[in-house]
Structure 1
Amino acid sequence: MSKKPSKSQLIATKTIYATLQLLKDNDGEMRGKEVVDHLRENLEFNDYEKHIYEKTGYVRWESVLHFYTIDAMKAGFLRKNKGTWIITSEGEKVIEENSPEEIYNLISKGYKKWEAANKKEKKELQELDEDEELEVNFTQQQKSIIDQVEADASSGIRDYIINKNPYEFQDLVGALLEAMGYHVSSIAERGPDGGIDIIAYTDPLGTKQPRIIVQVKHKPESAISSDEIQKLSGTLKRNSDVGIFVTSGRFSKPSRRESLMSREHIELIDFDRFVELWQEYYPKMDDDKKSLLPLHPVYFLGTN
């Protein structure tokens, strides 16, 4: 006789399935916060599932979801990159061929297989108190909490950038390029810019190649199209010109293909990569530049 699933397992079953299906229906990836917001609005949760943990302040079903996304990642169905959740090809296949319960079982088996291969402590899924169940594996619990904190931090940074106007976001890009060691010769003023927002060089006088042509789009809720990449390519007049496209949103798959196939080198920087670069070069900025997007580092206990 099979063991009756625990309440946490039931939560994981419906939220993980809904997550994979949502990602599959949205070009394969979404920000973690957007996933959680969508599930909150479209799934039904009872009072037990909506309970808020006193220790962390997090909602039970959200904590369960974050906890089991780690299993889904180890099973090979999900990836995470700087706050973005990405369904893998294996994840797309499993969502087409299996029920929510079968997917939960496959994820559990996949995690155990990874766990055995990496000689980690076994995660005991025996009959436990519901609040204890998610604390069985300390390492995974830590990762789950950090995952939620990072999602909150990413959301705060994203909201701050979204509230910038297009010219303020353009200034952020200019400040980042300078911190990276480039010399910004011009930043477009208000009005038509002919597809060129920033021109930068690798030396102060602009005598060395390449000339860097930067297109900046403040479109946080949109995906950049392949046509927009082609337009940037058309502005690269010199053979040595390099293009950089920076967006506060994301790039569609066709736009990424277009940049790879372009005769000219076109570098793509989406929101996540922009924040990653800002964090990396933040220590090299002066206080005026830092104030454009101020950050505060926080350190957590790591894992071996």
Structure 2
Amino acid sequence: MSKSQSKKIAEKTIYATFKILKEAGGEMRGKDVVDEIRKTITFDEYESYRYTKTGYIRWESILHFYTIDCMKAGFLRKQKGIWILTPEGENAIDLGAEKLLSTATKLYREWDGKRKAETVEGDIEEIEDFTKDDASQIQQSLISQYEDEASNGIRNFIIKKNPYEFQDLVAELLKVMGYFISDVAKRGADGGIDIIAYTDPLGTRQPRIIVQVKHRPNDSISSDEVQKLAGTLKRNSDVGIFVTSGTFSKPAIKEARNSREHIELIDFERLIALWQNYYSKLTDEQKNFLPLHPIYFLGE
């Protein structure tokens, strides 16, 4: 039996995905994975076709479809736009492109129990090799693409902010979380302190909260920078919060965890999660710092 075009596309893109993730240390933004695949694989006209209904590229839609197999097989995880290769997924690279995909698909089918759905029949017609039995998986892959797209849109909006705008966004979030802002650093040297906050309006109750804000979306915060924040905590009751629009290196996370002082780390993903959690409590003016529009999909 001849192999379908979709399966051929899936084999090479899924295999490339796993190798890219492994080389990146195990995790990467989904958008960056797709960009890397685009750099390393040449796609023909059929593979590069853009679907009229969804607006997505054929090979990208097929890739997302089969990442569902890989996730249910335990090879891959996705969290807020981040794709994570599991140890099982890294071992699966040794199977080669064809065997890797067939193993993931087999494990997914066992999990799925060949359920049938009728929610996205119109989209099935755009991916020629798929049938109504795949409807539920197509729905999941489309939602996955929408989630990645939403995460990328939010991240790009944040990236365009200057450091002071990002600092103000953090201050507004702390306000709506119930903290009282005593000081927000102005332009110039801040001595490692960007925001000072308290749990009461006059700052008479402990703790005093010292916040360091770094707007470096493409960088990881080092352990040395976490140590510097710890050095600004002069009172025994002081609490440090380090907020970044990027990520924290593993040594930085370890440093914060082992520090004598209480230091909370808030990376881009945690910041957005907090903003979403408190969004309904924001004023219209505060929402303008990062406006969101929630959309709900039918669940499984």
Normalising by the residue count of structure 2, what TM-score does the alignment of the two structures yield? 0.92
Give the alignment partner of residue 298 of structure 1, picking from 280, 295, 298: 295
* CA distance 1:7–1:236, change in 2 (3 Å): same
CA distance in 2, matches of 1:201, 1:257: 26
**Equivalent residue for 1:269?**
266
**Equivalent residue for 2:120?**
none
**Which letter does structure 1 place at the counterpart of 2:128?**
D
**Which letter does structure 2 place at the counterpart of 1:112?**
R
CA distance in 1, matches of 2:132, 2:273: 31
Aligned residues: 293
How far 1:296 sits from its partner (Å)? 1.6
Say which SS state the counterpart of residue 128 (structure 2) adopts.
helix
Query: 1:206-225 counterparts in 2 under 5 A?
Result: 206-225=203-222
**Equivalent residue for 1:65?**
63
CA distance in 2, matches of 1:48, 1:205: 65
CA distance in 2, matches of 1:196, 1:58: 44
CA distance in 1, matches of 2:131, 2:31: 21
**Equivalent residue for 2:121?**
none
How far 1:130 sits from its partner (Å)? 5.2
Range with bigger deviation, 106-115 or 13-22: 106-115
**Equivalent residue for 1:52?**
50
Residue 168 (structure 1) aligned with residue 162 (structure 2): no
- Give runs of ≥4 in structure 1 deviating > 3 Å: none
Contact 2:116 2:135 in 1 (8 A): no
For structure 1, the 5+ residue unaligned runs are none
Normalising by the residue count of structure 1, what TM-score does the alignment of the two structures yield? 0.91
**Percent pairwise identity:** 60
CA distance in 1, matches of 2:18, 2:181: 43
How far 1:122 sits from its partner (Å)? 7.0
Contact 2:180 2:199 in 1 (8 A): yes
**Equivalent residue for 1:283?**
280
Residue 195 (structure 1) aligned with residue 192 (structure 2): yes
**Which letter does structure 2 place at the counterpart of 1:217?**
K
**Which letter does structure 2 place at the counterpart of 1:21?**
K
Q: Calculate the aligned-residue CA RMSD, in Å.
A: 1.8
CA distance in 1, matches of 2:138, 2:250: 34
CA distance in 1, matches of 2:228, 2:292: 34
Say which SS state the counterpart of residue 273 (structure 2) adopts.
helix
CA distance in 1, matches of 2:81, 2:235: 37
Residue 89 (structure 1) aligned with residue 74 (structure 2): no
For structure 2, the 5+ residue unaligned runs are 118-124
Say which SS state the counterpart of residue 196 (structure 2) adopts.
strand
CA distance in 2, matches of 1:243, 1:147: 35
Say which SS state the counterpart of residue 136 (structure 1) adopts.
helix
CA distance in 2, matches of 1:297, 1:111: 30
